[in-house]
Amino acid sequence: GCCAPRSRARAAMSYRELRNFTEIMRCLGYPHLVSMQSFRTPNFELVADVLAWLVARYDSSIDVDDSIETEADRVHFLKGVAQAMLLKGRIKLNLKHLYSANGYAVKELLKIATVLHQAHRNAAGADAGAAADVDDLGAGDNIGAHRFADVKATRALAADIARYGARLHEGLAAHPANKEASARALSRSLEIGDVQRRLRAQAEAMGLEVEGVDKALANAARDEAALRAKADKRKADLDRHHKRLASLQAVRPAYMDDYEKVEAQLREQYDVYLRSWRNLRFLESELDALALQEKEAMEDHDRELKAMQQRLREEELRVLRGQAAVDEAAMDAL
pLDDT tens-digit map of 276-294: 999 999 999 999 999 999 9
Residue 91 has pLDDT above 90, yes or no: no
Residue closest to 109 by CA, chosen among 119, 121, 99: 99
**Distance between first and last Cα of the chain:** 118
**What is the per-residue pLDDT across 29-53, written as a single tens digit (0 to 9) for each?**
888 888 777 777 888 888 888 888 8
d(CA 149, CA 143): 10
What is the predicted pLDDT for the residue at 9? 42
Residue 145 has pLDDT above 80, yes or no: no
Residue closest to 54 by CA, chosen among 12, 84, 75, 76: 84
Residue 228 has pLDDT above 50, yes or no: yes
Q: Which residues contact 12 (CB under 8 A, 6 or more apart)?
A: 97, 102, 103, 104, 107
Per-residue pLDDT band for 325 (boundaries 50, 70, 90) equals low
Position 277, amino acid: W
Q: What is the mean pLDDT of residues 308-327?
A: 78
Q: How far is CA 332 from CA 270, 315, 327, 329, in A?
A: 78, 20, 9, 5
pTM of the shown model:
0.37
**What is the per-residue pLDDT across 229-261, written as a single tens digit (0 to 9) for each?**
999 999 999 999 999 998 888 887 778 888 889
Indicate if the alpha-carbon torsion angle 159, 165, 171, 177 is positive or negative: negative
Angle at 251 between CA 264 and CA 262, to 5 degrees: 15
